[in-house]
Structure 1
Amino acid sequence: MKIKHDDLSSGDVIALLEEHLKDMYATSPPESVHALAVNALKSPDITFFSAWQDDVLTGCVAIRKLSSTEAELKSMRTVAAFRNKGVATQLLTFVIEFAIANGYQTLSLETGTQGYFNAARQLYAKNGFEDCEPFGNYQFDPNSHFMTKPLVNIDISPSSPPKCVNTG
């Protein structure tokens, strides 16, 4: 699998993000949907990545800069045909390494509380994310589950930075 910095111009990526938004609105009340549309993901404070197996999209993930030391995980999604094949774990590992390499000390996320999000919450917990209070501009919402991972004292080898292919 190759993970690359993505400019959000691929029809496959756009379709995956539209599917993601559709699912979020189908499972959560509209006021509790914090997934971002494609144009919002193009913000300068967001870095977006897509994952590919040969020429086939397998998933995506984004990271939003909240401050010089804090970042937020956004829009992590695996293509249905690639679920339960390790794509999400690889994307999460990649974005954690990217955050560390860019000097972030914490990586936080918001996900849903509904059963639909159980697998995501389990994946995050398995990878060291812990429950936390709302962060950034979020407010308490019974439909939101907040998690964070401290990135200090995590060693990634300087000889193996996150593997990213730049498309620009």
Structure 2
Amino acid sequence: MPDRAATLSAAPSAAAPVLVIERESPRQLEAVALVAALDAYLKERYADEACHLLDIESLAADDVRFFLARRDGAAVGCAALRVDPSGYGEVKRMFVTPQARGGRIGKALLDRVAEQARAEGVSALLLETGVHQPEAVALYRKAGFVTRGPYANYPDLPESLFMERPL
């Protein structure tokens, strides 16, 4: 899957950590581990009916683009874009390891997903998150997402928060 990588460096020095975000297979062990960590994180916060989790095989589907963020070669985050035939893109499986949080990796992943969505002619990004993830909600709001009603087949649960950002 050749893909242009997004690369960030905190400073021009040789010792600065380098962040690379590339489209990769969700079936590789590092991706599987990140998705499992995200599942555990979400299941600690939400009841099963409020967890809308795409499994690894769903992340490998033709309508999904899966991205890994690597800092100095180590996988520290992931995100996916699901392209809906109706013209919107859905942000799925956004996760940054607890040890890597605070380093703007989540923003970089969102930027890469938005870049891919624009390249595919997507008109808006939609997502479903939860009220028990205030850091994620703050990240999405700062990135230009606004609250909206439920979409697709998502139930309107009190724990769910639906957001949208035009591209």
Q: Same fold (TM over 0.5)?
A: yes
Per the alignment, residue 32 of structure 2 pairs with: 14
Structure 1 gap segments, 5+ residues each: 152-168
Runs of 4+ in 1 over 4 A off after TM superposition: none
Per the alignment, residue 114 of structure 2 pairs with: 96
> What is the correspondence of 1:10-159 to structure 2 with a 5 Å cutoff?
10-114=28-132, 117-151=133-167
Distance 1:67 1:139 in 2: 20
Structure 2 gap segments, 5+ residues each: 1-18
Residue 67 of structure 1: how far off its partner (Å):
2.1
CA contact (8 A) 1:3 1:52 kept: yes
Q: Give the TM-score of the pair, scaled to structure 1.
A: 0.84
Per the alignment, residue 4 of structure 2 pairs with: none
- Higher RCO structure, 1 or 2 (CA under 8 Å, sep 6+): 1
Distance 1:45 1:31 in 2: 24
Residue 35 of structure 1: how far off its partner (Å):
2.1
Per the alignment, residue 10 of structure 2 pairs with: none
1:41-95 Cα offsets, whole Å, 9 max, x none, are 1122111010112321121100011125211000010022211011001111111
| Counterpart amino acid of residue 142 in structure 2 | K
Aligned-residue identity in percent: 32
Count of residues paired in the alignment: 149
CA contact (8 A) 1:66 1:136 kept: no
Residue 139 of structure 1: how far off its partner (Å):
2.3
Distance 2:99 2:30 in 1: 13
| Counterpart amino acid of residue 33 in structure 1 | C
What SS does structure 2 have at the residue aligned with 1:25?
A: helix
